């Protein structure tokens, strides 16, 4: 898929990823975002993907599930007690092996191209393991993979890799949810600086996504 994705997206990467364990935290504009990141960046990325991607029926779902497996994505069930803890423990294991864990702090695709409030799971893992967090700005994937349409259009995608966040200020309070929120807010500000998106200080809900999708 790499050559196909690169042909459509023609990605241009600015900045570089550090060596060792890294939390990669990009904004999320389109379904193709993960493919573009995996095709354009020199290190292998691992996402913790919802298990529905691996188990749905139909040729398209089979293809997507196979692609997830081939690229090393890890299925996680989102229902049930402790589901977030399982996902975050899995992410910690990825980092402990010196790999790159990629996560969208918004938790889902933006329904309207704006940058929405981040969820704290990314910083919960990063702070407790003292792992570097790298903000990433993706620009241009919405024009290649417009929401609500089928197929891709050729375009140009920019992947802007920021500097790792300075986390030392939270080293004494790494298990405090207030610190997770403060650090997440700083992360979202760094992503916004890379992308220039308008920021929305609330989480994107299913209702909001449905409303925007119908508009």
Residue ranges covered by each domain of the chain: 2-37+98-214
List 120's β-bridge partners, or say none.
Answer: none
CB 127 within 8 A of CB 167: yes
Among 23-27, 84-88, 170-174, 203-207, the range of highest mean pLDDT: 23-27
Q: In which order are the strands placed within the sheet that holds 74-76?
A: 12-14, 158-161, 133-139, 22-26, 100-102, 45-50, 74-76
d(CA 9, CA 152): 9
pLDDT by residue (tens digit) across 97-106? 999 999 999 9
List 135's β-bridge partners, or say none.
Answer: 25
pTM (2 d.p.): 0.86
What three-state secondary structure class fits 187? helix
d(CA 93, CA 90): 5
CB 150 within 8 A of CB 42: no
Token readout for 111 is 């329904």
Mention every residue, 6+ apart, whose C-beta is less than 8 A from residue 153: 8, 143, 144, 145, 146
What three-state secondary structure class fits 140? coil
CB 116 within 8 A of CB 106: yes
pLDDT by residue (tens digit) across 127-179? 999 999 999 999 999 999 888 777 899 999 999 999 999 999 998 999 999 99
């Amino acid at each position: 898929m790499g050559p196909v994705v690169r042909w459509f997206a023609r990605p241009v990467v600015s900045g570089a990823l550090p060596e060792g364990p890294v939390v990669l935290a990009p904004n999320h504009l389109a379904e193709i975002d993960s493919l573009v990141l995996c095709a354009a960046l020199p290190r292998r990325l691992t996402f913790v993907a919802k298990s529905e991607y691996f188990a749905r029926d139909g040729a398209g779902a089979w293809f997507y599930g196979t692609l997830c497996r081939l690229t090393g994505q890890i299925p996680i069930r989102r229902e049930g007690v402790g589901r977030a803890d399982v996902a975050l423990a899995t992410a910690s294991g990825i980092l402990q092996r010196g790999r790159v864990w990629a996560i969208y702090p918004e938790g889902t695709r933006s329904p309207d191209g704006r940058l929405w409030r981040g969820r704290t799971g990314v910083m919960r893992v990063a702070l407790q393991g003292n792992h570097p967090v790298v903000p990433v700005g993706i620009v241009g994937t919405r024009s290649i993979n417009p929401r609500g349409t089928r197929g891709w259009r050729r375009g140009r995608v920019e992947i802007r890799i920021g500097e790792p966040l300075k986390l030392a200020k939270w080293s004494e309070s790494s298990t405090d949810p207030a610190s997770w929120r403060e650090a997440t807010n700083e992360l979202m500000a760094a992503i916004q600086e890379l992308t220039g998106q308008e920021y929305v200080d609330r989480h994107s809900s299913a209702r909001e996504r449905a409303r925007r999708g119908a508009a």
